[in-house]
Amino acid sequence: MNIKEKVSELLKYCSSYQGHTYMVDERREDESFRVVLAEEKEIAENLDKLQFILLTGEAGDGKSHLLRCLRERLEKYRFHIIGDFSELPEKGRLQKQPGGQPDPGKQEVIRTIADIVEGKSDQRIIIAANVGIFTKSVLMYQEQLLDMLNRQHDRVKIINFEKRNLAFDQGVFSRIVETFFTYDRGACTDTDCPHCQNCAYKNNIDFLCSPEGIESIRVLCDTVFLMGEHITFRELLSLLAHLVTLGEGCEERKGQRLDGSYGYENIFGLTEDKILQKISRMDPACKNDTDVDRETSYMDVESCRREKRRRFFEEKNIDKKYKFLTVDYLFEFQTVLKEFEKTPFIASEMIREGVLYQLKRGIGRLTRRGESNMAVKVADTPSMLGDDIQTEFELGNMDIIWHRHGLDFNEPDKAAESGQQNCFGMSYVYDADEADEEKLAEITLAIDYKLFRYLMMADGYFYLSHNSKSIEEYTINTFFRKILKKKQGAYEKMLVKFVGQKESGYCNFSLSMQKMNSMLYRGKKIIKLKKEG
């Protein structure tokens, strides 16, 4: 198609998010845009052994589209296809024709899935369900099925699109962008348009299909994923369309003066779509320019904005692209995730520098409340004491390990696959069974971008709230309280603090268990009381 026809097609993807009518979803039958994604390929290659397939995620993830693409092969293997699990009645109902079998409801489907997992049924089912609906039905009718599905089964395949990073595979992402932007590459033939010889739409598409353009879009989508947000396939296509048209068609622009406001870099100024709101928050124009070698003067504020945005898109170094975005500690967060791709885990005592050491200091500054010693102090105050008294416990040496998300400590060689990760873990590892020292258990704190940023700010003294409720918001206190319950001797010393002690005249003190001389006192223990600060 020519450039004008292409623009007309792209505008159909630029409608407001809730009003999409021409997207890759259950409503669209047009197959002119077709890219085989990893999920489709994986299912197609394993249909001979699979009996139950669950596709779950948000509307717009492409579940219905995937079912439509696989329908012929699914029918060949006699799969019962449930395109929308939410539409099923709670219980089966009889068909109207005489002698007909009852249509299964959610209850019957869940029971059949349990039989498949247990090897009691040879039926085959594939289900598409939005987030939470399937889990709710399982909890209602067959609660034990959740544990069964969490185990490895050759007969079962669960694809959660919410965990998918569309920007992870560079090759696949490039094919999506190039296929979506395909047109005849010819010049515009609409001679009535004053911009015919210098078409902004054509210029935008040509750049966005270049290596720098594709990588820029991929970095934007990858950043959305790294920050813990989900980008659906529908949102990706909407973003691609907006990058070219900025939501305006040829007829709207014919009478306007051609200037820099039509360029792809202005995507950061759009907010009317859900995905555009996520992108606009990263605007490079809002990032302080820390490159001391650059001595650039700008005519005005708008020129400054445009230059910073273009610099992001035109930068060839991928790592620098991340640095140009206005996202706190994004580059550092990405650095740690990459490190765990190479080294799945590292003991905390081995960390003496780098970003992980900054995180260690951040945790220490949050828990030590400004004290100079290196001990971690954890609040664990019984509710019966109210808000006027706080009790804290000091944790000494702990077997803390920093590691890739999903690592199995009992089988570290079979670590979770690298890539498509937007968090990592910090775990306290201990013997699961005193009789079997080789069997390990762990208490894990998952560190996503939100918690990572909080700890980095604490390390830099940007934000140091010692209020236990503030720390609890990020589950740090809960993590250490769980360790207190498992760590031997952790409760042998307790610090008792009074809120408003100066006004009330009370004094903070500590209580500790002290073992007396074993020869003189036969191992007797006493409580030692000490005045504190």
User: Are 262 and 200 contacting, i.e. CB atoms less than 8 angstroms apart?
Assistant: yes
Q: What's the pLDDT at 533?
A: 66
Coil, helix or strand for 260? Answer: helix
State what percent of residues in the chain have pLDDT above 90: 35
Please classify residue 504 by burial: count the beta carbons closer than 10 Å to its beta carbon, then call 0-12 exposed, 13-18 middle and 19+ buried.
Answer: exposed
Give 250 or 519, the one with higher predicted confidence: 250
Model pLDDT for residues 205-264, shown as the tens digit of each residue: 999 999 999 999 999 999 999 999 989 998 999 999 999 999 888 888 877 777 778 899
Confidence of residue 394 (pLDDT cuts 50, 70, 90): confident
Helical residues (DSSP H) of 158-199, grouped into ranges: 170-180
- Average pLDDT in the chain: 82
Residue 87 to residues 57, 96, 106, 136, 234, Cα–Cα distance (Å): 16, 18, 9, 14, 22
Q: What's the pLDDT at 15?
A: 62
Q: What's the pLDDT at 149?
A: 85
- The highest-confidence range among 87-96, 128-137, 289-298, 508-517, by mean pLDDT, is 128-137
Residues 171, 529: Cα–Cα separation, whole Å? 66
Model pLDDT for residues 73-102, shown as the tens digit of each residue: 999 999 999 998 988 888 876 555 455 556
Number of other CB atoms surrounding residue 498 within 10 Å: 16
Q: What's the pLDDT at 22?
A: 42
Residues 491, 126: Cα–Cα separation, whole Å? 51
Q: What's the pLDDT at 281?
A: 94
Q: What's the pLDDT at 292?
A: 41
Q: Which structure tokens are listed for 199?
A: 């078409």
Tell me the whole-structure pTM to 2 decimals: 0.83
User: Are 424 and 402 contacting, i.e. CB atoms less than 8 angstroms apart?
Assistant: yes
Q: In DSSP terms, which residues pair with 345 in a beta bridge?
A: 403
